[in-house]
Amino acid sequence: MQTRKLGRNGPEVSALGLGCMGMSFAYGTTPDKKAMIKLLHQAIERGVTFFDTAEAYGPFTNEELLGEALAPLRDRLVIATKFGFKDGVANSGLDSRPEHIKAVADASLKRLRTNRIDLFYQHRVDPNVPIEDVAGAVKELIRSGKVRYFGLSEAGVESIRRAHAVQPVTALQSEYSLWWREPEQTVLPVMQELGIGFVPFSPLGRGFLTGAINDKTQFDSKDFRTNLPRFTAEARQANRAVVDLLERVASQKRATPAQIALAWLLAQKPWIVPIPGTTKLARLEENLGSTEIQLTAADLQEINEVAARIAVQGARYPEQLQRTVGR
């Protein structure tokens, strides 16, 4: 497995991490716990060293899963988790008061069965708490040895700069893929300037860019994609053009659309570390295969030129969720 340095001063991690949310949250029926522990071990065997979770995934059960699965191999791994929601529940509102951050850190350490959190993200910027206070609280956790690195998720440029001035931000996590390229406009240049690593979540468009989803796909009633405008049947039909592009390039490279989507991301910057999630070994192996694909300058130009002519249909989030992004 190839490795990458997460930002100028961050840890060295596998070129692809593993997003673990779907192992216990958000995509309908919860997978079997033993099967997910086995998958986590299989990921480590294949060289994955970077694992992403959050107290809100469950809530709490995803951290507990990782704690049970990863504790025996802890020193080989980089584990990222997140704080910032009231009671750890994503739809209960934001809470990044310093005392709450510290309480979440202690609780996450217990669930993860570890003595330190490698990367501690603020899950969403809390408009009621100055970002300087948030950064200051994490700075204290770093000084105490409970946290190694500070991260932000879905933060805007102003918040990033203000936080970074108090405690250097090691990584920003935000959605980024061929069908959501907004970070290129302002965020990525600031990452380059400040030496901050970038961790794209949903790098496969929540499964759409794999080609396995079409306008006829029926989602589980508990699958949160049923609430996303981009996943209406009409939007899925219109957005098939993105998958068609990936399939054309994949056929030339003897690869899959998912592998091309990930290889495209890896080719953007050497400090980008995508975290595709999966609950299946075959998909894990497929994703990891993307690190062996070399896209030439001509390949990248072709992808960018064709993608620029595709108008992706449907909002990324419902309006109330989008309001929490980019502050």
In whole angstroms, give the CA distance from residue 125 to residue 148: 20
Helix, coil or strand: residue 215: coil
Q: Report CA-CA distances (Å) from 44 to 51, 69, 107, 209, 291.
A: 10, 10, 25, 25, 16
Instruction: For residue 200, count other CB atoms closer than 10 A to its CB.
Output: 25
Q: Report CA-CA distances (Å) from 185 to 57, 180, 181.
A: 29, 11, 8
Q: Where does residue 93 fall: left (phi above 0), alpha (psi -120 to 50 degrees), or beta otherwise?
A: left
Read off the tokens for 269: 């910057």
Q: How far apart are the first and last CA of the chain?
A: 35
Where helices occur in the chain by DSSP H, the ranges are: 33-45, 61-70, 98-112, 131-144, 157-166, 187-194, 233-238, 240-253, 257-268, 281-288, 297-308, 319-322
Read off the tokens for 125: 């910027």
Helices and strands in the chain: count of H runs, count of E runs: 12, 9
In whole angstroms, give the CA distance from residue 270 to residue 253: 21
Read off the tokens for 25: 């949250």
**Residues with catalytic roles:** 57
Burial class (CB in 10 A: 0-12, 13-18, 19+), 75: exposed
Burial class (CB in 10 A: 0-12, 13-18, 19+), 13: buried
